Amino acid sequence: MEIVYLETTFFSFYYDDRTAPAIVAMRDWTRQFWDERRHEFSLLTSAAVLAELTKGGAHHKKPALELALTVPIIESGEQVAEIVQFYLRHKIMPEDPSGDALHLALASYHECDYLVTWNCRHLANANKFGHIRLINNMLGLKTPELVTPPELLGEIEL
């Protein structure tokens, strides 16, 4: 069974109630993946996701956190912290060791097949994937596919 790391934005968009058409579509695809396909994968998340979900003022943070707590939590540790620092030195992620670099390091270290996110600026970004793969190859790490929920749905009707 393929392993999927669910990043913070997945849980946040599941409960997002903004009415902009793009947000509604993202929420619907997130829910569709959760409702229809999640059992086809081995899902994981992390304490970093839980920490991010507790921050901020979003009124839906409590249900998002509760949803995240239904998924097994993977461990961080010294090796993951070293990977994060390597990523930051090689400028593949923003200079926040508790953010995107940590999610990528966790998914890579734990050999996830996919990292599912709505963060298309730093994670699910085709322009960055080659650099990420190069750095992970240098570290001897598997590079997860960096995807959005609809990419794991298979055929979808737009």
* Closest among 104, 101, 116, 110 to 73, alpha carbons compared: 110
State the pLDDT at residue 96.
65
**Tens of pLDDT, residue by residue, the chain (158 residues):** 999 999 999 999 999 999 999 999 999 999 999 999 999 999 999 999 999 999 876 678 899 999 999 999 998 899 999 999 999 998 887 676 568 899 999 999 999 999 999 987 767 667 678 889 999 999 999 999 999 999 998 765 55
pTM as predicted: 0.92
State the pLDDT at residue 52.
92
Q: Does residue 158 belong to any structural domain of this protein?
A: no
| CATH label of the domain that carries residue 102 | 3.40.50.1010
Q: Does residue 157 belong to any structural domain of this protein?
A: no
Residues 24, 27, 28, 29, CA torsion sign: positive
Size (the chain), residues: 158
State the pLDDT at residue 80.
96
Q: Give the chain's domain count.
A: 1
What residues are paired with 42 via a beta bridge? 3
Residue range of the domain that includes 120: 3-152
Q: Does residue 115 belong to any structural domain of this protein?
A: yes
State the pLDDT at residue 24.
97
Q: Is 111 left (phi over 0), alpha (psi -120 to 50) or beta?
A: left
Contacts of 59 by beta carbon, 8 Å cutoff, 6+ apart: none
State the pLDDT at residue 92.
83
- Label the pairing between strands 3-6 and 114-116: parallel
